[in-house]
């Protein structure tokens, strides 16, 4: 049994890609996308026609709507290959606007429904884990729209998402690791900060333990991996979303894989926590890593959304 098959025994494997033609190789249960991945995909010759066709078909409609239609086009292609769910992201530029996030999420759902997709079972609306995004997700969930809270770097964000009853969270393992490695500079010791000691891995383990100990139903999906060691250290997490390159690396290895996380044995008890808006904002502010990476992530996704818009404008000329 290779390591990818071993991982599937305990964890739902999710592909993190906009390149849907690769999905038949790794055979994931679910798939996630984001603006950066879609931008990367449409710059490839085999995917550019999807952008051009979408722009031509919906000429004259607002650019933000055409982008959503492109995201849904990719999503429906993905759903034709995988058996599970696809995550489609709301524009990051709406990360601090609850009402606009809800409206955009509802429009994406409507577009999928128009394609005959059972959105309650097969779609997750991806939203940034800001206070406003979490509140939007709370309201979307109450309407039967399932959500995936992304750009999650802190325990406070995870606590708020659990309290909001969101379907799933995506803590970013690799970006947490990046921050601590950069912060440590020359004093960083890779060997001592790998596996279970990796700061990104430790963050996900804490969140996973907290959710399981307090009966929080929100699914935990580790994301943004830099190496296979981070994935192995989280074997047993509810879900893990993995790049095609790392999926291939796991599939090529026949070394034994240990069950690292167990919902029945999560370690020391973690006290129940709750936040109002002021408490959440202060807790997030106290976490320099989470504050910086959240802001950086929103800026990066927003910049890629702008680049995608420019490609569409060029296509329509």
Determine contact, residues 55/44, Cβ cutoff 8 Å: no
Average pLDDT on 137-147 reads 98
Q: Is 57 among the catalytic positions?
A: no
Distances (CA, A) of 250 to 59, 204, 235, 255, 317: 43, 20, 12, 9, 44
Confidence of residue 148 (pLDDT cuts 50, 70, 90): very high
pLDDT tens for 63-114 read 999 999 999 999 999 999 999 999 999 999 999 999 999 999 999 999 999 9
Distances (CA, A) of 82 to 77, 244, 252: 9, 14, 21
How many Å is the maximal CA-CA distance in the chain?
60
Confidence of residue 25 (pLDDT cuts 50, 70, 90): confident
- The count of domains in the chain is 1
Integer Cα distance of 106 and 111 in angstroms: 9
- Collapsing DSSP to helix, strand or coil, 45 comes out as coil
Instruction: Give the Cα-Cα-Cα angle 84, 86, 87 (nearest 5 degrees).
Output: 140
Residue with tokens 């309650």: 120
Nearest to 75 by CA among 129, 6, 122, 120: 122
Q: What is the pLDDT of residue 263?
A: 87
Domain that holds residue 225: 3-315
Q: What is the pLDDT of residue 70?
A: 96
Average pLDDT on 307-311 reads 95
* Residues pairing with 239 in the sheet: 12, 221
Q: What is the pLDDT of residue 71?
A: 96
Q: What is the pLDDT of residue 268?
A: 80
Q: Which of 113, 126, 181, 202 is catalytic?
A: 126
Integer Cα distance of 152 and 129 in angstroms: 6
Residue with tokens 């984001």: 34
pLDDT, averaged across the chain? 96
Average pLDDT on 262-266 reads 85
Q: What is the CATH number of the domain that holds 29?
A: 3.20.20.70
Within 10 A of 256 (CB to CB), how many other CB atoms are there? 8
Q: What's the whole-model pTM score?
A: 0.96
């Amino acid at each position: 049994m290779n390591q990818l098959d071993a991982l599937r025994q305990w964890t739902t494997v999710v592909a993190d890609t906009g390149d849907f033609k690769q999905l038949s190789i790794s055979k994931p249960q679910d798939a996630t996308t984001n603006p950066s991945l879609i931008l990367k995909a449409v710059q490839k010759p085999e995917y550019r026609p999807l952008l051009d066709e979408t722009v031509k078909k919906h000429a004259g409609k607002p650019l933000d709507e055409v982008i959503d239609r492109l995201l849904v086009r990719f999503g429906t292609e993905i759903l034709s290959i995988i058996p599970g769910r696809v995550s489609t992201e709301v524009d990051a530029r709406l990360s601090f606007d609850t009402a606009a996030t809800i409206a955009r999420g509802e429009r994406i759902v409507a577009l999928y429904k128009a394609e005959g997709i059972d959105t309650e079972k097969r779609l997750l609306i991806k939203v940034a884990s800001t206070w406003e995004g979490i509140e939007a997700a709370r309201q979307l969930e109450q309407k039967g729209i399932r959500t995936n809270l992304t750009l999650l770097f802190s325990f406070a964000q995870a606590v708020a998402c659990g309290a909001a009853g969101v379907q799933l969270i995506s803590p970013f393992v690799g970006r947490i690791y990046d921050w601590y490695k950069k912060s440590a500079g020359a004093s960083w010791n890779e060997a001592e900060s790998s596996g279970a000691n990796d700061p990104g891995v430790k963050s996900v383990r804490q969140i996973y333990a907290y959710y399981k100990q307090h009966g929080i139903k929100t699914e935990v999906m580790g994301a943004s991996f830099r190496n296979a060691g981070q994935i192995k250290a989280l074997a047993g997490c509810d879900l893990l979303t993995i790049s095609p390159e790392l999926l291939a690396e796991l599939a090529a290895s026949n070394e034994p894989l240990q069950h690292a996380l167990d919902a029945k044995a999560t370690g020391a008890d973690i006290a129940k926590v709750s936040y109002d808006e002021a408490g959440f904002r202060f807790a997030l502010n106290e976490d320099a890593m989470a504050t910086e990476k959240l802001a950086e992530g929103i800026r990066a996704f927003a910049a890629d959304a702008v680049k995608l818009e420019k490609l569409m404008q060029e296509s329509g000329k």
